[in-house]
Amino acid sequence: AMLPPDINEGEAGFSVSGNSIRYALTAIKAVGRPVIESIVKERQERGRFTNLKDFITRVANLDVNKRAIENFIKAGALASLGATRKQSMSVYVQILDHITKDKKNNMVGQITLFDIAAEDTKEEFDIRMPDIGEYSKEMRLAFEKEVLGIYVSGHPLEEYQGILQRYATNTTNDFALDEETNTVTVQDQSIAIVGGMIADKTIKYTKNDKVMAFLNVEDLVGNVEVVVF
């Protein structure tokens, strides 16, 4: 099985976790390898990241910007920090801004309210996670596709498997050229029923001003281009 990237378990490259493969942290879009290597080094030297604030505080000096943190959240890489993706998404900017502001105050020697607060009241200054639950499965999978290029924790069509098996005569794989035999399963001029979701759409106009569309239809095994007039 393929496991999502994890800031506390994963490495720069793909790694083994039990009987599964852990997705590489460097596969997350808009996050460079040097940044990932710095984060992994920080974790190895000073221990696991305990929560979102701890993570952002410790990586704030490693060129980790807002876009990178957002993509970590979308990829599910911060799941081990004890908050849902929706919770993390709602507060990460606030945490980052707090840390940036504190750094500026420290540089000019200003004392903040947090500095003089007693230990037992410091918790009140912590940013609390709002009670807003989690994104829908569809939204989580869409985020994974956006920042990883694939679905890791499932597939949007899983719940429609029964309908697909009942009505579809072929899968998208049947339209792919078999390199060994140099043949395609679906014969030219034959009728084929494929079920899936429209992953992409391009609309064009013919010379006679007729509208046509090129659809990228995706099922559980791959995708195929469908021309619609």
Backbone angles phi, psi at 101, to 5 degrees: -65, -45
For the cut 90, the answer to whether the pLDDT of residue 111 exceeds it is no
Give the model confidence (pLDDT) of 65-91 as tens digits: 999 999 999 999 999 999 999 999 999
Q: What is the pTM of this model?
A: 0.78
Q: Tokens 């084929």 appear where?
A: 192
Query: CB–CB of 127/114 below 8 Å?
Result: no
Report the pLDDT value the prediction gives residue 227, as an integer from 0 to 100. 94
pLDDT the model gives residue 122:
47
Percent of the chain with pLDDT over 70: 89
8 A C-beta contact, residue 179 and residue 185 = no
223 compared with 108, residue with greater pLDDT: 223
Mean of the per-residue pLDDT values for the chain? 89
- Predicted confidence (pLDDT) per residue in 23-63, tens digit: 999 999 999 999 999 999 999 999 999 999 999 999 988 88
Statement: residue 124 has pLDDT above 60:
no
**Which pLDDT belongs to residue 115?**
56
User: Residue 41's pLDDT is what?
Assistant: 95
Among 69-78, 93-102, 171-180, which stretch is predicted with the lowest mean pLDDT? 93-102
With CA atoms as reference, report the closest residue to 65 among 104, 39, 40, 30: 30
